[in-house]
């Protein structure tokens, strides 16, 4: 059935093993992030087989999926947990990323076993966490109120919201907070932190990396790069041509906005051979597709259709042909969550 994703789990396992060995030499453990594939058991098993012990996800539904498939944690909730859903998490989640006193106290009141709280510190990306210059005071105050749960350490995330890169300055901001509260665990999230390793930045005391993209795709979208020592092409989209016609390259008539509310401009290249493939914005981010066949160019998409230029393809293209694409993080994210895209996991 098309469209479909080919998910090469074996290549992902190689990435996981490469990074685990690389980071273990620095005293850093990996939390394998499973959310991109909705906690699929094959992805969870891949992490475990690669020697990664903690699985991180942002949704309790995904953790339940892994548990039902026989995957034993430990599990880390990598999104700040809502108070309204803590009861669902309390018997499952071993690690929580938190940033509010109310959440810490609520977990403390419910838990009857050892759980680890990582208090999030904002070092500049402006997503979750207390600002680094106020963090030590806030964390120290909350630690004194806890009876059963414990704040095991501090964490930070960069790249995902503001696109901030690691620097010696923002890493030092986190490390200073960790020293002030005597943190056992210093946890950072975002594939972009691999740049800090590669550039020999200050990593004193940092002992946990939460990684998904680098292992699953071999890329670093915040850094705008393929990671040269990892496998790419781990997820391939296959989509079928449903129409093939020569048409002008620029729409004719007065223009407003497209179906997604965007004002789109098209270059006039004369008449071109244009193929429609049966996949659209409801299933993928078309701008995250890289054609694997020379001469194919993605033009634009609506909710159900993606238009590609195949004028320069070195073969006879016909209706029913399958075109193949590499995908970036946002394209994979949308495709995995679409019920209209088949997923084939290849061990």
Catalytic residue numbers, as ranges: 35
**Token pair 């005293």: residue:** 27
C-alpha separations of 179 from 23, 96, 142 in Å: 21, 20, 17
The tokens for 226 are 């393929």
Peptide bond preceding 176 in cis form (omega within 30 of 0): no
Report strand pairing: 54-57 vs 29-33.
parallel
Is the distance from CB of 61 to CB of 43 less than 8 angstroms? no
- Give the contacts of 6 (CB within 8 A, at least 6 positions apart): 235, 236, 238, 344, 346
Q: Rounded to a whole number, what is the largest CA-CA distance in the chain?
A: 72
Of the candidates 56, 104, 97, 62, the one whose C-alpha atom is nearest the C-alpha of residue 83 is: 104
- Give the contacts of 329 (CB within 8 A, at least 6 positions apart): 36, 213, 217, 219, 221, 288
């Amino acid at each position: 059935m098309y469209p479909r994703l080919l998910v090469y789990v074996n290549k992902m396992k190689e990435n996981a093993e490469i990074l685990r060995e690389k980071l273990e030499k620095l005293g850093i453990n990996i939390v394998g992030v499973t959310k991109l594939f909705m906690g699929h058991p094959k992805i969870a098993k891949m992490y475990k087989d690669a020697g990664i012990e903690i699985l991180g996800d942002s949704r309790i539904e995904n953790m339940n999926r892994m548990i039902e498939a026989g995957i034993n944690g430990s599990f880390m909730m990598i999104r700040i947990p809502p108070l309204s859903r803590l009861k669902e998490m309390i018997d499952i989640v071993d690690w929580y990323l938190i940033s509010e006193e109310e959440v810490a106290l609520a977990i403390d009141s419910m838990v009857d076993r050892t759980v680890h709280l990582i208090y999030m510190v904002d070092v500049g990306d402006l997503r979750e966490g207390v600002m680094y210059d106020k963090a030590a005071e806030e964390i120290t105050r909350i630690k004194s109120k806890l009876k059963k749960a414990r704040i095991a350490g501090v964490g930070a995330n960069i790249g995902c919201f503001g696109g901030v890169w690691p620097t010696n300055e923002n890493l030092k901001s986190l490390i200073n907070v960790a020293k002030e509260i005597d943190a056992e665990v210093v946890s950072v999230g975002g594939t972009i932190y691999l740049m800090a390793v590669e550039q020999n930045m200050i990593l004193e005391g940092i002992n946990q990396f939460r990684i998904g993209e680098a292992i699953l795709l071999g890329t670093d979208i915040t850094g705008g790069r393929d990671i040269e020592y990892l496998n790419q092409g781990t997820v391939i989209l296959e989509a079928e041509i449903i129409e093939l016609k020569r048409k002008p390259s620029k729409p004719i008539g007065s223009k407003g906005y497209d179906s997604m509310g965007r004002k789109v401009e098209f270059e006039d290249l004369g008449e071109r051979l244009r193929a429609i493939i049966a996949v659209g914005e409801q299933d993928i981010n078309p701008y995250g597709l890289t054609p694997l066949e020379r001469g194919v160019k993605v033009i634009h998409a609506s909710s159900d259709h993606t238009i590609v230029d195949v004028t320069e393809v070195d073969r006879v293209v016909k209706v029913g042909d399958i075109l193949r694409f590499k995908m970036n993080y946002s394209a994979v994210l949308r495709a995995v969550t679409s019920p209209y895209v088949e997923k084939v996991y290849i061990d």
